[in-house]
Every structure is written in C-alpha cells, then in structure tokens.
Structure 1
Amino acid sequence: MRGNNKWTGLALVAGLAVSANAVAAEAPNLNSDPGRASDFGQPGQLVISQDASGFLGYNTGNEIFQINLEPAADYFLQQNLSIGAAAQLALGFGDATIVGLGVLGRVGYNLPLNERVSFWPKVGFGIHFGHIPDNSDVSFVLDVYAPILFHVTEHFFVGAGPQMRALISDRGFSFGSSQGNFSGNDVTIGISTTVGGYF
C-alpha cells in the first residue's frame, strides 16, 4: 500500500509539473514574437495603413497649418516591391479654410535596415479636388513619402518620414494662397506618420 501511495504521489507531482509548464508556455510574452523587418515585404502580403500628419508645413503659397489623413492599401507583387492605392483628405488653415479630397495610385519599395526597422519609400500619382471659399479646382497630384518603419510586433508597424506633395494643373490650387483663390502650382513639404498592419 505504501509503494502504491509513493508512485501515486510521484505521478501527481509529475502531472503538476507538466501542467505548470503548459500554462507557462501559453502565457503571453510581448518579447517572444517581436516584429521582424525581414518578414515585411514578402510576395502576396496585403498592407492596410493609415498615414496622418498635422504640421506647420512649408508651402509655395504661404505658411499654413495642414492636417492630412490617408487610408491606404498596398500589395507586394514580389519581394519588397509594392503597388497600392490611397484616399486623401486634407484640411488647411491659413487665410482661408481649405478642403482637399483625392485618390492616388502608388508604387513602393521596402528596404530592411536591421532586425526591426525598414525603409519603405513610395511614389504616388492621382487626382485631387480642392475647395476654398468661392472657388474649386481639380488637379493632378504627385506624392513622395519616405517613412522609416518600426515593426512593433508581428504584422504591426508604426513609422514616420518626410513627405512632399505637389498639385499640378493649368491654374494650380494653392493651399497657402493669401488671395483666397487659385494661383500657381502648389507644393507642400512636411513630416507624416504611419500606423499599419499586414497579412
């Protein structure tokens, strides 16, 4: 009887040890699966991101406070080469309140810099509608954005980088126009931020 109790006790201890190990293995660990730059940019990945900025940017018309929101989707055709599309909403506050809406297609190329950081510059071209009091204009938009991404966890990143946006048309739409109308082509330079994920 004593021998049976001994083996029962040992089996119980072994079972508890195995259960404790199983529970420990299931416990979440934020550092156990960090994001890796090498995982980003694989063929077939779909990236959903939100680019946003709020800055005192330099504008060819004037200095203005401008807010940009840009939800986007990008797809990696092959290793590190992406194509995508983005919608644009821009609000400018200066001599007059200005609203801009647009859509553009873009091409990007991802460059891993180290284990958790990559550089993903993109060039886009599209159509932009701008409105200021008593006037509106449709123009082409050329956009260059070069964010550095930090891969926080697997499939999730944050980033920031310089952005240049030029609106091109015969009349041109100037965000910073002190006259409150369209005068010349418009170029704005500033810093944008990015939050996104991929699968």
Structure 2
Amino acid sequence: MRGNSKWTGLALVAGLSVSASAMAAEEPNLNSDPGRASEFGQPGQVVVSQEMSGFLGYYTEAEVFEVRLEPSADYFLQQNLSVGASALVQLAFGDATTVGLGVLGRVGYNLPLSERVSFWPKLGFGIRFGHVPNASDVAFVLDVNAPILFHVTPHFFVGAGPQMRALISDRGFGLGAQQGNFSGSDVILGITTTVGGYF
C-alpha cells in the first residue's frame, strides 16, 4: 500500500512538472519576436501608414486648433529608398472653420539606428484645396517629415518626429482675425505621430 502511494506521489509530481512546463511554453512572450529595424526598407516592400498631428497655436492674431490626418502608402524602390503618396485631410477650428483636402507625393530614406529603431525622413510636394466661409484657395504644399520609428513587432511600427509644412500660393491660405479671408502663405512647425505596417 505504501509502495503504491509512493509511486502515485511520484507520478503526481511528474505530471505537475510536465503540465507546468507545457503552460510555461504556451505563455506568450512579447519579446520573443520583436520587430527589427534592419528588416524595414528592403526593396519591394510596401508600407501603409497613418500619420496624425495636432497643432495648437496662432495664425495672424487668431487662436487655432488644427488636426491633420494623412493616410499614406510608400514603396521601397531599393534598399532604404522609398517613394510614396499621401492624402491630406485637414480641419482647423478658430475664428473660422477651415477644411483642407489634397494629395502629396514624397520621397524618403530609411536609416536604421539600432536593432528596433530607425529614422525615416521624407520630403514631399503636392497640392491642396482649402475652404473657409465665403472663400477658397488652391495652394502648393512643401512638406518635410522626419519621424523616428520604433519597430514593435515584425511588419508593425509606431513613431513620432518633427514636421515642417509650407503652403504656397498667390493669396496664401490663412485663418486669422479676418474670419475667412486668405492672408499670406502659412508655414507650420509641429510634431507628427505615425503608425503603420509593411509587407
């Protein structure tokens, strides 16, 4: 009887050990398959991303809150060299409500900084249609966007970085105390966040 109890106890301990090992093996490990900066920027990769920025500041004596959304797609022609395009959607609220829609072509170059971090500056040029009450304008857009990317998992990244955008036209496209009149070209400095993936 004691012998049987001994073997039963050993079997129970062995079973628990095997179960614990199995459970440990099944437990997910977020660091087991991290993203790698060296895998980003390979020839033929397609990158789909969403860039978003919020800007709070002053335009010609008027306080303005501006939000921009920019769904984008980029293609790496060769190692780390990309070309792409993004749609521009802008809403600004102040003395007048501004709506801006446009398209932007861009070229970029990816620089791996560490195992999971890279720097992907992009230079873009495009056109944007803007509307405020009782007035509309078409402006050329010059854009410099330089995010630092953190590669969370393979094929997925988040990032943030500085952005400079100039709107160039005969009349310019500004908000301001004139409540809807165009009043000179705008240059905007801010921080842009981005989230995206590639395949």
TM range (shorter): 0.7 to 0.9
Aligned-residue identity in percent: 77
Would the aligned equivalents of 2:62 and 2:95 in 1 still touch at CA under 8 Å?
no
Normalising to structure 2: TM-score of the pair? 0.84
**Cα pair distance change 1:82/1:62, threshold 3 Å:** farther
Aligned to 1:120: 120
Structure-2 change in CA distance of 1:112 and 1:129 (3 Å): same
Residue 77 in 1 paired to residue 80 in 2?
no
The superposition leaves residues 113-145 of structure 1 with CA deviations (integer Å, 9 ceiling, x where unpaired) of 111111111111011000000000111111111
AA paired with 2:177? S
Cα deviation code 1:121-173 (max 9, x no counterpart) = 11110110000000001111111111111111111000111111111111111
Match of 1:160 in 2: 160
How much has 1:109 moved relative to structure 2? 0.7
Q: Which amino acid aligns with 1:35?
A: G
**SS of 2:38 mapped into structure 1:** helix
> Could you say which residue in structure 1 is the equivalent of 2:198?
198
Judge conservation of contact 1:91–1:98 (CA < 8 Å) in 2.
yes
Q: How many residues align?
A: 187
Structure 2, unmatched stretches of 5+, are 1-13
Q: TM-score, normalised by structure 1?
A: 0.84
Give 1:177 shift: 2.3
Partner of 2:172: 172
Structure 1 residue runs of 5 or longer lacking an equivalent are 1-12
Check the 8 A contact 2:149/2:158 in 1, yes or no: yes
Which has the larger displacement, 115-124 or 27-36?
A: 27-36
Contact preservation (8 Å) 1:35, 1:152: yes
Map 1:85-164 → 2, pairs under 5 A:
85-164=85-164
User: Structure 1 stretches (4+) deviating beyond 3 angstroms?
Assistant: 19-28, 57-63
Shift of 1:62: 4.6
- Is the Cα contact below 8 Å between 1:72 and 1:87 reproduced in 2? yes
Q: 1:65 to 1:156 in 2, by over 3 A?
A: same
Shift of the alpha carbon at 1:53? 1.2
